[in-house]
Structure 1
Amino acid sequence: MLTQLDWLIIGSYLLFLVLFALYLSRQQSSRADYYVGGRSIGAWPVAISVLATQCSTNSILGAPAFVAFAAGGGLVWLQYELALPLAMIVLILLVIPLFRQLQLVSVYAWLERRFDLNTRLLLSGLFLLVRASATAVTVYSIAIVIDLILGTGFFWAVVLLGGFTVVYDVLGGIRGVIYSDVLQMVILVFMLALLLYLLADASGGLGAMLEAASPERRRALDFSHHGFGDGETFAFWPMLFGGFFLYLAYYGCDQSQVQRIISTRDIDTSNRALLINGVLRFPLVALYCLVGLGIAVYADGAPDFVGSLPQRNGAPEYNLAVPQYMLASLPPGLVGLGMVALFAAAMSSLDSVLNSLSATTMEDFIVRFRRRDLSHRQELLVSRLVTVFWGLFTLGMSFYVGDIAPTVLEAINKIGSLANGPILAVFALGMLVPRATGSGACTGLLAGVVGNACLWQFAPAVSWLWWNLIGFAVTAMVGILFSGRGAVDESGLNLHPREILAQQARLNWRRRSYGLLLWFLLLLGVLLALGQ
């Protein structure tokens, strides 16, 4: 149980976030300040903020549970991260420089410049629908965890998690999101490192802990399966190729990620943020996966540990293994800091989504269709009100997803892969195929999503990771086919890919991006060594 000291630490942390956001709110005078921080934020805060968003509560609880207890689990999850440095090379050299140079706030605004208004509204509306629904389910799932750990009841768990997040998000804007994420990441990494130290120390050191783990849990690469009908979702090839297209879509076409990357001072700073993210993400994921391996070793030596986990539907709730270990092993004060780490992981995921939902609504609908101009102050006020709306909407929805949440939570990655490839293909058509039209791209998007849905329904043995590649290919081919054979029109391209690549060469980013390729090869070698 939590002591008064633990609750004091939790309360102080939440109060600090609100006061800090209130301080940042005094620096805002326009919607550009609110959504992109006046385009003056440095590379390191942006990179760490994006990392924090990726390291959600579902990640730091679910990934260790997958490594420690899931059938077919183990360190094979790390294969997923090999695709990230490769995706970052494409984003650095081609995608983000285009958006950054055009001074966009909503990434979907580019689709109107390149194609037409309907394409912009379709992709923007799809983002709002998918992200708002997923966020409501995320709030539900995390509130359930908080209730089980703290015993607050579901309502107060939602208030603690969502209420404070909405308040500092509304006040602080994108700067509040980014700088609070930096603080949250520091706390989270400290606690994960402490847990890994305690688990390794109990086994006689990190090497001894690795040796004590079962070989199937320690195996980090699976070259023996392909994921095409063999029922093996987490084989090497689908995780590499599927992950590559998934990361391209997520970091390059998703408003919740792109919005922070284009909040930097210039293209060079945006690229540095991507480079930092491409290097640091693997160590972060490896940290909480090794915590999961330590939990597996600990559970083998303490048979009562699994029995001490809360039950759900008659089975142990393995996702609570990490907080259960914290409650059993940490002294008062550090337990409270551990709970803060869980809050930090949850808030760093929610704050960026709420701000991006607000930005997309404001830029693609309210500003786009306004009948009269608003002053900067009026736009700032409306922007905050829109953030309040999305905050209340997602928190309210979390009370009504109980019946569907378990199914949705199991399928959340599948839902992302259902649309990621097709969305990426729409952007790729606009950048790389001059004769592509908006109607062709939208038709391709529909075909790609329907094709992936058919795979989900009729070919469940095909790894959902492959959907990212398959959906991309189907959308691209159908998009080109339905664009007809009209005259090539490059007027909407804004910048030709050759111009972007030439610019990156002048900035020496071609050469620097080769470092990410070397990083990929190094990580591959590390995973090969882990499996020995």
Structure 2
Amino acid sequence: MSSADWGVLIFTLVVIVGYGIYKSRGTKNIEGYLLGNQSLPWYSVCLSVMATQASAITFLSAPGLAYSSGMSFVQFYFGLPLAMIVLCITFVPIFHRLKVYTAYEYLEQRFDLNTRALTAFLFLVQRGLSTGITIYAPSIILSTILDINTTYTTLCIGSIVVAYTVYGGTKAVSYTQMLQMSIIFCGLFAAGIMVVHLLPGDVGFSKAIEIAGKMGRTNAIDFKFDWNNQYTVWSGLIGGFFLQLSYFGTDQSQVGRYLTGSSVSESRLGLLMNGLVKIPMQFLILLIGVLVFTFYQYNRPPVFFNSYELNKLERSSYQPQLELLKADYGKAFDRKQIQINKLNVALDKNDRAVVDAQRVVLRQADDEVKAIRGKVTDLMLKNDKGADINDNNYVFLSFVTRYLPRGLIGLLIAIIFLASMGSTASALNSLASTSVIDIYKRLINKEASDEKYLKASRWSTILWGVVCIAMALYASKIGNLIEAVNILGSYIYGTILGVFLVAFYVKQVNGKAVFYAAILAEIMVCICGFNQVVTYLWLNVIGCVLVVVLSILLQLLIKNKTAAVSGNG
């Protein structure tokens, strides 16, 4: 990066962190630290909720996902608006009326301590692991720019986020997220314009989309019902609805965001606006990935997008074999570009027969290029068995650093940093609040002063920061990051959602029945997931339904057994 880019990056980060710390000054009690004294307006709630969900993973992995497999991932969010409506009707007023710090406090009031502890534990496991992945995402950026191992950049970034979260608590998180999302929207819009601007003169926006479509990258909607297809309208509407309802309704990283609203109305409005804006925002991010794909049909992409791993291979004894593969790659790309130009001419002439023929030829050419890339990754593994051979997460970053003008590169990289800082800070704050409220205050030290609980919250933030950074060091092994986070959540969210639905709507079920139902459901979800019985979005439906059905059946068994014992007595 140029000095101008470094200047923009550093200035943006310093302003954001400084603003958050300034706005959160004077936090002296646990309510202010964990809930921001419930004083934030709806627009702050909306942007904070969005920023918590839109981590650096979104801006690194989503364009890479669209580049490699198309836009079908947008269907993942189709259940979000429905989930927001249900949340506004049920969860939000209940949590505000009970004046809880965490979602899991309510479960003890409704059931018992065991159920509260189980759901809190499941949340801590899931969110702790997921936060490690969100810390890893921006470390990819620094490692690419500086050509150093992600271990060092992970430690650096993780430490920065932990520091300002420990100092300011939820107010620092919410206020920085509001400013972050404003900058993010501007930066994404600028990136989309620049991609189109960099395309050849005779390839405008509509033709770029058409070319990508002929090569299978604009497949946004799929109405087929297929248990084994990860992204369809039905998996998004049904599975996505259950996942989003559980995420926003029972995950403390999100509950903690809208509990900061100054009233039920402010929290509701913030959530509803999030439901309306999120799908267009995600569509735009995926669309940028599709445009980058078209750009690379006219400009040769690197043989491997992760420059750190590629440079490592170039310095190894396998460098001669790599050079031969690069030569083959260049020839294959040149042949492919001839076919792209033929497609371009056919589209101008509206010659359907030639367009259909070129579509087949181009997909074959694409397969040839992929085969050569596969040989490169094989060399990487021969050179280093621990090499990160998934470069999906580096596609957009590589484009940004190679082709965008000075200043804008720094701004876009700052955006990815800001997104990571916002979502990571929210997660650390929620992990701390759950640990202190649901475990420390409830089970270990029930009568401590408010000052002591505040101190425990800060130490808990530090502890979880260390755990999440440790997890981040292993995140390179898990493939596409945005999918990894959602897959991990799908193993747990359905079960937790089922517990809350029983708590709200099945009044005859008690704590013992729902506790064992949740354990059985979680075991069965893990079996289904590990054996790939269905794709991951459906795990949310399975977990939720199992908890509800099993808890009702177990309650009947307990009731009958109690009646039988009473009769014998």
TM-score interval, smaller chain: 0.7 to 0.9
Q: Which residue of 1 aligns with 2:416?
A: 342
2:478/2:484 contact within 8 Å kept:
no
2:462 matches 1:427: no
Q: CA deviation at 1:195?
A: 1.3
2:438 matches 1:442: no
Q: Which amino acid aligns with 1:140?
A: Y
Q: CA deviation at 1:423?
A: 1.0
Q: Which residue of 2 aligns with 1:484?
A: 556
2:223 matches 1:223: yes
SS of 1:484 mapped into structure 2 = helix
Q: Which residue of 2 aligns with 1:113?
A: 109
| Residues 1:206 and 1:170: Cα distance change in structure 2 (over 3 Å) | same
Aligned with 1:454 (options 518, 527, 540): 527
Q: CA deviation at 1:30?
A: 0.8
1:213/1:297 contact within 8 Å kept:
yes
Cα distance in 1, alignment partners of residues 481 and 51 from structure 2:
23
Q: Which residue of 2 aligns with 1:165?
A: 161
Cα distance in 2, alignment partners of residues 331 and 248 from structure 1:
41
Matches within 5 A, 1:75-474: 75-203=71-199, 204-215=203-214, 216-224=216-224, 226-228=225-227, 231-305=228-302, 310=307, 311=309, 313=377, 314=380, 317-371=391-445, 373-399=447-473, 401=474, 405-406=478-479, 411-458=484-531, 460=532, 462-474=534-546
1:124/1:360 contact within 8 Å kept:
yes
Q: CA deviation at 1:404?
A: 5.2
Larger radius of gyration, structure 1 or 2?
2
Deviations 1:395-420 (A, max 9, x none): 24434x26854599864422211121
Q: Which amino acid aligns with 2:259?
A: I
Q: Which amino acid aligns with 1:428?
A: L
Cα distance in 2, alignment partners of residues 376 and 238 from structure 1:
45
1:264/1:270 contact within 8 Å kept:
yes
Q: CA deviation at 1:316?
A: 6.8
Cα distance in 2, alignment partners of residues 196 and 257 from structure 1:
29
Cα distance in 2, alignment partners of residues 380 and 307 from structure 1:
48
Q: Which residue of 2 aligns with 1:15?
A: 14
2:107/2:116 contact within 8 Å kept:
yes
Cα distance in 1, alignment partners of residues 109 and 513 from structure 2:
16
Range moving further from structure 2, 28-37 or 332-341 = 332-341
Deviations 1:469-502 (A, max 9, x none): 1111111111111123778xxxxxxxxxxxxxxx
2:494/2:544 contact within 8 Å kept:
yes
1:106/1:259 contact within 8 Å kept:
yes
| Residues 1:461 and 1:115: Cα distance change in structure 2 (over 3 Å) | closer
| Residues 1:301 and 1:373: Cα distance change in structure 2 (over 3 Å) | same
| Residues 1:149 and 1:335: Cα distance change in structure 2 (over 3 Å) | same
Range moving further from structure 2, 234-243 or 31-40 = 234-243
After TM superposition, the score normalised by the length of structure 2 is 0.79
Cα distance in 1, alignment partners of residues 494 and 470 from structure 2:
30
SS of 2:261 mapped into structure 1 = coil
Q: CA deviation at 1:360?
A: 0.5
Cα distance in 2, alignment partners of residues 371 and 412 from structure 1:
33
Q: RMSD between aligned alpha carbons?
A: 2.3
Q: CA deviation at 1:123?
A: 0.8
Q: CA deviation at 1:143?
A: 2.1
Q: CA deviation at 1:381?
A: 2.5
1:17/1:168 contact within 8 Å kept:
no
Cα distance in 2, alignment partners of residues 52 and 66 from structure 1:
20
Cα distance in 1, alignment partners of residues 243 and 493 from structure 2:
6
Cα distance in 2, alignment partners of residues 88 and 447 from structure 1:
28
Cα distance in 1, alignment partners of residues 397 and 297 from structure 2:
18
Cα distance in 2, alignment partners of residues 222 and 60 from structure 1:
24
Range moving further from structure 2, 215-224 or 280-289 = 215-224
| Residues 1:275 and 1:308: Cα distance change in structure 2 (over 3 Å) | closer
Deviations 1:62-81 (A, max 9, x none): 11111111xxx212222122
SS of 1:217 mapped into structure 2 = coil
SS of 2:536 mapped into structure 1 = coil
Q: Which residue of 1 aligns with 2:357?
A: none
1:141/1:405 contact within 8 Å kept:
no
Q: CA deviation at 1:300?
A: 1.2
2:393/2:480 contact within 8 Å kept:
no
Deviations 1:14-55 (A, max 9, x none): 333443343234221210001111011111111111111221
Structure 1 unmatched runs, 5+: 488-532
Q: Which amino acid aligns with 1:47?
A: C
Q: CA deviation at 1:255?
A: 0.4
Structure 2 unmatched runs, 5+: 311-376, 381-388, 560-569
Cα distance in 2, alignment partners of residues 156 and 12 from structure 1:
22
